Structure 1
Amino acid sequence: MRVIGLMSGTSYDAIDAAAADLELVGDSLVMRPLGMVSEPYDDALREALTAALPPGTTTMAEVCLLDTRIGQAFAAAAVRADRELCGGRAELVASHGQTVHHWADGPAVHGTLQLGQPAWIAEATGLPVAADFRPRDIAAGGQGAPLVSLVDLLWLRGRPGRPVALNIGGIANLTAPDGTAFDTGPGCALIDAAARGFSGGALTYDTDGALAARGRVHGPLLERLLREPYYALPPPKTTGRELFHLGRLRDALAGCGTLPAEDVVATLTMLTARTVADAVRSVGATEVIASGGGTRNPVLTRMLAERLGGVPLRPSDELGLPSDAKEAYAFAVLGFLTAHGLPGTEPASTGARGPRVLGSLTPGAGGLRLPPPAARRPVRLLLE
C-alpha cells in the first residue's frame, strides 16, 4: 500500500508530507521510503495559530477558522506529495493534524485536540484519510503520545545494546527498547518563543543556533527553569506548549534582571540539552538515534553530546530514516496499521490499558474500501 503521512509538530513551522510503499511480509513490515516534501504555513495562518496558542487566548470562531485553514493546508501538501512522490498512485493519507491543546494534568491526560479537518484532504486528493490518532489511546487511559514510539520499537528491534530513539521538535521525546517512552520537556519550544519574543516576530527560531552561540548560560535562570515539577514526574508522561510557552519564560525571567537575548537563548538551549541528557541517562541508553528539527541546531547538538558523555549521538539518517521526515513516515506507518485493523499503540509507552486501533477514517472519492484485516501486528520494521 502506498501511503502519504502528514505531520506538523509542536514547532508548527511547516507541514511535512512523506510517502512510502508499505507491505506486510511475514512478521515484518517492509517500508520503501519514497521521499518527503515540506510546505511552510503561510504567514497569516502561522500568525493566527501563534495567537491562539498559550499564552494567547482564542474563540470558537477562530478555532473553526483554524480547523478549516489547516485542513486546506494539509490537503495542499497531500496533493503535492501524491503528484511528486507517488506519481498520482497513493492509496491512503494519514494525517496527524496540528496539535493545539494537550490536556495534561500532572501524570494524567484527559484529552487532546488536533486541528486540520480531514474532509478537505479527502476532497482534494480523492483518497481515504486516517486522522485523529491520539484520542483513542487517551480514552483507553493512555497519554496519547508519543505515538511514534511503536514505530521506534519496530525499527530499532534487534539493534545491539540499548538504543534510544530521540525526537527534538517543539517538545522532545524518547523511546527506550523496553517500551518506556515519554516527553522529556521542551525541545525547541522555549528557544523558538524567546527568538520570536526578543525579535518582535522577525525570527521564528534560532537559525543555526546563532543567538545561543553568541550568548552565555545564565546559571540562576537555568536553575530556576529546572525547578519545573514536570521533570520529576515518572513516565509515562507527556506535555506541550500549555506548559512550555513564552508566558512561563517571562515568569522565570522575573527577578533575574535584564539579560541579553543571546544569554537567554543560550540558557534555554542548555535547558533542553540538560533535561534530554538526564532523561537519556535515566533509561540506560548505550546510543541515541536523534531526529527532528532540533538536530539542525549545532549549538544544541553540541551541548547535548557533551552532556551525554560517552553515549554516541547519531542522526536517524545513518539508519535510513531522514531526520526531518521521520515523524511523517511514522504516521504513514500508523495509517497503514489502522487501515489493516491493527493496533498502533504500545501500552508500555503510553500507559494505556491495552493496544488500540487508532484514529478515524474519512472516505475518499470511491467510498471506503479497506484491505482485508491483517492477522497480527508486525514485530519489526524493515527499510528497503
Structure 2
Amino acid sequence: MSEASTNPPEYYIGIMSGTSLDGVDLAIVECDQNQLSTHFTQFSLFPEQLQKDLAELTLAEQWHPDHYFKIETELTQVYANAVEAALVSARVEPGNITAIGCHGQTVRHRAFTKPAYTVQMINGSLLAELTNCTVVTDFRRRDMAAGGQGAPLAPAFHYAALSAQHPNAAVLNLGGIANLTIWDQERLIGFDSGPANGLTDAWMQTRFNKPRDEGGEQARQGNINQGLLEQLLKHPYLQLPAPKSTGREEFNLPWLESQLASYNDVSDQDVLTTLAEFTAVSIAESLKNSKPTHMYVCGGGVNNLYILERLQRLIPQTVIAPSSEVGVDPDFMEAIAFAWIARQTIHLQPGNQPSVTGAHGPRILGAIYPR
C-alpha cells in the first residue's frame, strides 16, 4: 500500500466465511492515502440449516443445480443481512462504501487436478442489489488462470501490512485449515500447512456434542497416541512442497474415520488430543526450513491455548503471539485482507503474490459488480 493520494478516505467492507463454516466475519476498513485502519468488526453465526447444507456441499460427489443455487441465494442473503447490520451499527451509509470485498464460501478447491478449479459460493450481482454497494468477488480464479494455486490469498495482505515493521516474521491463520505466511529480507512464501480447527471441531461435534474445544481444555486432558499421530502425518499432502493449498476435500471426518480403522482402542479423548498434536506438528514441520523470529497468530484457533502451547514447545526459537500485538484483530485478519484485496482491484493493483500461489505473475483479482 505504497501509493499516496490527496483523495478523501475510502471505506471498504471485507467479508470472509472460512472452512470452519461457523459464520461470517465482517470488517469495515478505512483507507486513507497509504494508511489502513479497521473502523468496525462484526461476527454473525450461520443459521443452523445453512451451516449443515454448506458442510454437505463441501463433500458431496454431485451437486443438483436447483439445490446449489437455492443455498447460494440463502448464503448471499446472510451476507447482505450482515452488511446491513454492520452499516447500522457503525453508522455508515451504503453510499460511503467504495466496495465490498466478499470472498464467498469455498465449497470445492481442487488446485492439483487437471484442470485445476475452485468454487466460492456467492451471487455477486444479488449482493450488490441487496446492499446497494459495489461488490468485488471471485478472487481466486484469476490467479488459477495464471497458473497459480488460487490460495492462500491473505499472505499478500500480511506482507503489505506487516513486513516493513517486522522484517523476519510469519503469520499463522488457524481456521478450519492452517495457513502460513513467512517472509524475510530475501523471500516471501505462503501455503496451507494442513488442518487446524476443522478436524478437532468435527470430533468435538460428533463425540462430545460441543461445537469446539474451548481453549483447548478438552484436548489438554488426554494423551497423545504416537501410533495414530504417525499415521495421520503420512497424509500425502503434507509431503508436498509449496506452493500448495488444500481444504475440507482432503482433511475431513470421513478421512479421519478411515485413519482410525486400526486404532479402535484409542479413546475419544485421546483422539482429540492427538488431533491437536497433529495440527501443531504439521505446522512445525512446515517451518523446518524457515526461522522467523516471531509468528503472529490469527483465526479462531488463536483461542486454542493448548495447540499454541504445543506449537511453542516444538518451535522454541520463534516467539508466538496473537496478531493483536501488531495491531490486527486476530478474529478478523482475513476479513480485513479481503477488504484490502477489493481495494487493490478497484485501484487496478495486483492482489496476489506469485511467490506464494505459484502464478506466472502479479494479477488484478476478482470480478466487479457495480452498485
Interval of TM-score (by shorter of Structure 1 and Structure 2)? over 0.9
Q: What is the match of residue 303 of structure 1?
A: 310
Any conservation in 2 of the 1:10–1:99 contact (CA below 8 Å)?
yes
Q: What is the match of residue 125 of structure 2?
A: 119
Is 1:92 the equivalent of 2:64?
no
* Offset, 1:156: 2.0
Q: Which of 162, 175, 181 does residue 169 from structure 1 map onto? A: 175
CA deviation digits over 1:80-104, x for unaligned, max 9?
A: 2222225223231110011110013
Is 1:61 the equivalent of 2:70?
no
Count of residues in correspondence between the two structures: 357
CA deviation digits over 1:199-225, x for unaligned, max 9?
A: 4xx322222223212211111110000
Q: What is the match of residue 259 of structure 1?
A: 266
Any conservation in 2 of the 1:165–1:288 contact (CA below 8 Å)?
yes
CA gap 1:61/1:206 in 2 versus in 1, 3 angstroms: farther
Any conservation in 1 of the 2:13–2:29 contact (CA below 8 Å)?
yes
Aligned partners of 1:85 and 1:44: how far apart in 2?
29
Is 1:147 the equivalent of 2:132?
no
Is 1:19 the equivalent of 2:24?
no
Which residue type is aligned with residue 240 of structure 1?
A: G
Aligned partners of 2:221 and 2:61: how far apart in 1?
30
Q: Which runs of 5+ in 1 are unaligned?
A: 365-384
Aligned partners of 1:2 and 1:295: how far apart in 2?
27
> Identity percentage over the alignment?
34
Q: Which of 344, 349, 357 does residue 342 from structure 1 map onto? A: 349
Is 1:78 the equivalent of 2:83?
yes
CA gap 1:44/1:14 in 2 versus in 1, 3 angstroms: same
Aligned partners of 1:315 and 1:281: how far apart in 2?
21
Q: What is the match of residue 330 of structure 2?
A: 323
Aligned partners of 1:289 and 1:215: how far apart in 2?
27
Q: Which of 360, 363, 377 does residue 370 from structure 2 map onto? A: 363
Q: Provide the secondary structure at the position in 2 that maps to 1:61.
A: helix
Which residue type is aligned with residue 9 of structure 1?
A: G
Q: What is the match of residue 54 of structure 2?
A: 49
Aligned partners of 2:69 and 2:29: how far apart in 1?
31
Aligned partners of 1:136 and 1:172: how far apart in 2?
23
Q: What is the match of residue 135 of structure 2?
A: 129
Q: Which of 10, 16, 30 does residue 7 from structure 1 map onto? A: 16
CA gap 1:290/1:48 in 2 versus in 1, 3 angstroms: same
Q: Which of 21, 35, 40 does residue 35 from structure 1 map onto? A: 40
Which residue type is aligned with residue 73 of structure 1?
A: V
Scaled by the length of structure 1, what TM-score is found? 0.89
Q: What is the match of residue 191 of structure 1?
A: 200
* Offset, 1:242: 0.3
CA gap 1:128/1:282 in 2 versus in 1, 3 angstroms: same
CA gap 1:109/1:74 in 2 versus in 1, 3 angstroms: farther
Any conservation in 2 of the 1:51–1:57 contact (CA below 8 Å)?
no
Which residue type is aligned with residue 35 of structure 2?
A: V
Q: Provide the secondary structure at the position in 1 that maps to 2:103.
A: strand
Scaled by the length of structure 2, what TM-score is found? 0.92
Aligned partners of 2:354 and 2:190: how far apart in 1?
10
Any conservation in 1 of the 2:172–2:297 contact (CA below 8 Å)?
yes
Q: Which runs of 5+ in 2 are unaligned?
A: 1-9
Aligned partners of 2:276 and 2:249: how far apart in 1?
19
* Offset, 1:57: 5.7
Q: Which of 134, 139, 144 does residue 138 from structure 1 map onto? A: 144
Q: Which runs of 4+ in 1 moved over 4 A?
A: 55-58
Q: Which of 294, 299, 306 does residue 301 from structure 2 map onto? A: 294
Aligned partners of 2:81 and 2:61: how far apart in 1?
27
CA gap 1:274/1:112 in 2 versus in 1, 3 angstroms: same
